[in-house]
Amino acid sequence: MAQKQGEELLRGGTSSPRATFLELFFDLVFVFALTRVSKRLIDDVTAGGPDLLRQGAQTVVLFLALWIVWSLTAWVTSRYEPERSAIQFVVVASMFGSMVMAVATPRAFAERAVPFVLAYLAVQVGRPLFLTLALRGHPRRTVTSRILLWSVVGAVPWLVGALVPSARAVLWTLALAWDYVGLALGWPLPGRGSVRASGWAVMGEHLVERYQQFFLIALGETILVIGITFSGAAFSAAHASAFALSFLITALLWWIYFHRAGHVLAEAIRAARSPGLLGESASWTHLVIVAGVLLTGVGYELVIAYPYGQTASGWPLFVMGGPALFLAARARFEYEIFGRVSRSRVVGVVLLIGLVPVVWRLPSIGALALSALVLAGIAVADAVRAHGRPLEQPATPL
């Protein structure tokens, strides 16, 4: 009977690959969470000072903590049946914990450290604990139990860091590294090997759809940044131009992502000999893609707020570096699907990085215009190359 109950939680042959309404509801929390990460980055940049790098590194830690919570939840709903009440409880509980983390993010390295950590650990420890109990005697219980063990060990530096401000940054960095090493290596245990996610039986089409939806969440966050920043600025020609350029870049990011490779990702998963391997690789790629979009959104707010201000020393990291990071990850994404990389992606990355010394001599809106010009050139090159040709079939090397 215990075996049967465990089986009921697993994805079956009749499971729909589409995301459920609850999962889309869960994603709404991360629209808010990404705005909190952006707000923290913007505050760091505008404040400037000698602590800029330290503050930026702290924001990266918080973003990666939010990402691993979302990513592992996506793997859970791709591995287990999301229509089951037990899995729905996991999603809702993860949603609440993520919301608390997002609320605490702006001051997570200060007075809100304890709420942030308790929410994070409630998800990271509570989720595998609940699944281990729910699966009972099922063989997959061994996977959730080893994830639980890794999470419990990693909880120690998280908790100590929350209680000891002077060691917080070091301990949280080590704790996050522990969590990511576990994810990357398959939570290895002495004498028992590892269980890499690439070998899991998952609903591959569902998993890749979830990562594409998170990419759209990141684009949605940039739309919020553009709208909120422009609505609070003077309706001058300069601000309006920065607003229009920011929206254009967002549209170009969408076009470049979905052109060819983005459209056939689900088909590539279906054709792959190991859907889990492609899904695991795509998860790391989408982490970098989303980070690039997030950095680009910070650049929008800086330029819309100060369109004719001199480009400050750190601003190219966002205005030029964000799109460059996106393109680099998008090139890897293309390789994952087709086993090749378009020359335009490489040229775009080189141009964006090479133009950094130039943009320091321009007003910030000039830097944004150059970024838009490079991305537009890539989009045009893609359209010309694809004109009159049938949609290319995936040929993943993974």
* 135-170 residue pLDDT tens: 887 777 888 899 999 999 999 999 999 999 999 999
Identity at 289, one-letter amino acid code: I
CB-based contact 394:340 (threshold 8 Å): no
pLDDT value, residue 265: 80
pLDDT at 73 over 80: yes
CB-based contact 364:306 (threshold 8 Å): yes
Confidence category of residue 279, pLDDT binned at 50, 70, 90:
confident
Average pLDDT over residues 13-42: 87
Considering the entire predicted model, what is its pTM? 0.91
Average pLDDT over residues 343-351: 94
Residue 80 tokens read as: 């287990």
Confidence category of residue 271, pLDDT binned at 50, 70, 90:
confident
Q: How far is CA 395 from CA 243, 261, 267, 398, in A?
A: 39, 11, 10, 9
Of 202 and 336, more confident: 336
Average pLDDT over residues 40-69: 87
CA distance linking residue 35 with residue 224, whole number of Å:
8
pLDDT value, residue 178: 97
In 3D space, the residue among 105, 398, 95, 130 whose CA is nearest the CA of residue 269 turns out to be 398
pLDDT value, residue 5: 55
Ramachandran region, residue 391 (left: φ > 0; alpha: ψ -120 to 50; beta: rest): beta
Residue 368 tokens read as: 């944004």
Confidence category of residue 202, pLDDT binned at 50, 70, 90:
low
Of 91 and 234, more confident: 91
Burial class (CB in 10 A: 0-12, 13-18, 19+), 193: exposed
Residues 6 or more apart in contact with residue 197 via CB below 8 angstroms = 75, 183, 186, 276, 279, 280, 283
Confidence category of residue 1, pLDDT binned at 50, 70, 90:
very low
Per-residue exposure over 106-128, b if at least 16 CB sit within 10 Å of its own CB, e if not: bebbeebbebbbbbbbbbbbbbb
pLDDT value, residue 2: 43
Of 386 and 12, more confident: 386
pLDDT at 198 over 70: no
pLDDT value, residue 314: 78
pLDDT value, residue 344: 92
Residue 63 tokens read as: 């973003």
pLDDT value, residue 379: 94
pLDDT value, residue 199: 61
pLDDT at 251 over 80: yes
Q: How far is CA 32 from CA 84, 106, 272, 320, 383, in A?
A: 27, 12, 34, 24, 34
Residues 6 or more apart in contact with residue 328 via CB below 8 angstroms = 288, 292, 345, 349
Average pLDDT over residues 363-383: 94
pLDDT value, residue 49: 67
Percent over 70 (pLDDT), the chain: 94
Average pLDDT over residues 186-205: 74
Average pLDDT over residues 351-373: 92
pLDDT at 392 over 80: no
pLDDT value, residue 203: 67
Of 70-79, 317-326, 375-384, minimum mean pLDDT range: 70-79
Of 102-111, 172-181, 304-313, minimum mean pLDDT range: 304-313
Of 49 and 376, more confident: 376
CB-based contact 213:27 (threshold 8 Å): yes
State the average pLDDT for the chain. 88
pLDDT value, residue 273: 74
